[in-house]
Amino acid sequence: MSIVAVGSIAFDSITTPSGARENILGGSCTYFSLAASYFTSVRIVAVVGEDFTSDYEDVFRKRKIDTKGIEHVKGKTFRWGGRYVDNLNEAKTDFTELNVFENFQPRIPQDYMDSKFLFLGNIHPSLQATVRQVMNGVQLTGGDTMNFWINGTRPELLQTLKLINVLLINDTEAKMLAGDRNLPRAAQRVLAMGPQALVIKHGEYGATIFFREGAFGIGKHPFRAPALPIEQVQDPTGAGDAFAGGFMGYLASQEDINREVLKRSLFYGGVMGSFAVERFGTERLQKLTREEIDSRFQVFRELTHLE
């Protein structure tokens, strides 16, 4: 089944202990869609400026990602600059130029409307809600958010959370959203806000999925997928978005959405996140094979599998 992904396309300037790159293709929608494209057909909705040439669009086309929903407007594409100094888990932002992204109003092409899966990337919660309302035929909606919206637009975010089936955020965001520093308690509070499932991403430690009682099956226990310890982390940018792409992409490729499928999705999320960080930007995500992906899935599975 196809999935529609809404989010940002950006040009990133990144410095890590492994080197530096200027103006490379990035953005949440880019990482997400490349990662998801190995599992299902992906249709994206984003906005770019005049500096987004067809060479860049080819990156998506080569992965058969539908780019009809990329809106081209006057001005420059969103740019972000950041560096990872002491800690590869946290970027220090050098600059953020929203440019054309500042007035982004997602428009869903008519022939995207039959998609049954939707991923609402990290944009203003009111825009997320509008997209979800327009796409009223979707079966399952995944969503992301961030500290900026949790603190700055909380009432709007709380409305949007009622429309999201699976929320994917990190530890800090979950604790901030819930106002509770204990992770499992925070998870229960976030689930009470709307989502049936909550994926909390722990960076290099993997991710945990918490379920609302009765959602997607029975049982009260969460499920945790580890991350493979990676020796060569070149650039952590986009790892969370690649995780979401692997998770949602695998999910959208399945007939039935149940807990076993959600567990495997969590592992595939970790797998795609682990590939993303091995090279700068989207380099690694552009040319994987499904065989490489499934082989790493097995390594991840072995990583915690007891006989």
Binding site residues, its own copies, CB under 8 A: 86-88, 181-185, 187-188, 202, 204-206, 208, 221-226, 229-231, 233, 260, 263-264, 267, 299, 301-307
Work out how close the CB of 134 gets to its own copies at its nearest, in angstroms, rounded to a whole number: 36
Which of 65, 209 has the CB closer to its own copies? 209
Contact 252, 41 (CB under 8 A): no
Work out how close the CB of 304 gets to its own copies at its nearest, in angstroms, rounded to a whole number: 4
Q: Give the CA angle between residues 6, 272, 137 to the nearest 5°.
A: 35
Query: Reduced to 3 states, what is the DSSP secondary structure of residue 198?
Result: strand
**What is the amino acid identity at position 297?**
F
Contact 242, 278 (CB under 8 A): no
Work out how close the CB of 270 gets to its own copies at its nearest, in angstroms, rounded to a whole number: 11
Which of 83, 301 has the CB closer to its own copies? 301
Question: Strand 92-97 to strand 79-83: parallel, antiparallel, or no bridges (unpaired)?
Answer: antiparallel
Which of 124, 264 has the CB closer to its own copies? 264
Work out how close the CB of 171 gets to its own copies at its nearest, in angstroms, rounded to a whole number: 9
Run of H or E residues at 67:
strand 66-72
Q: Which of 15, 10, 17, 35 is nearest to 242 (CA)?
A: 35
C-alpha separations of 122 from 119, 143, 168, 215 in Å: 10, 7, 10, 24
C-alpha separations of 279 from 31, 44, 150, 162, 282 in Å: 13, 23, 31, 36, 7
Work out how close the CB of 301 gets to its own copies at its nearest, in angstroms, rounded to a whole number: 6
Q: How is residue 192 written in tokens?
A: 């009470």
Q: Which of 240, 225, 204, 242 is nearest to 87 (CA)?
A: 204
Which of 20, 299 has the CB closer to its own copies? 299
Contact 144, 121 (CB under 8 A): yes
Which of 126, 188 has the CB closer to its own copies? 188
Which of 30, 208 has the CB closer to its own copies? 208
Work out how close the CB of 241 gets to its own copies at its nearest, in angstroms, rounded to a whole number: 21
Residue identified by tokens 């993303």 is: 276
Work out how close the CB of 70 gets to its own copies at its nearest, in angstroms, rounded to a whole number: 36
Which of 206, 238 has the CB closer to its own copies? 206
Other Cβ atoms within 10 Å of 68 Cβ, number = 13
For 223, which DSSP code?
Answer: E
d(CA 185, CA 181): 8
Work out how close the CB of 112 gets to its own copies at its nearest, in angstroms, rounded to a whole number: 32
Which of 92, 181 has the CB closer to its own copies? 181
Question: Strand 223-225 to strand 197-201: parallel, antiparallel, or no bridges (unpaired)?
Answer: unpaired
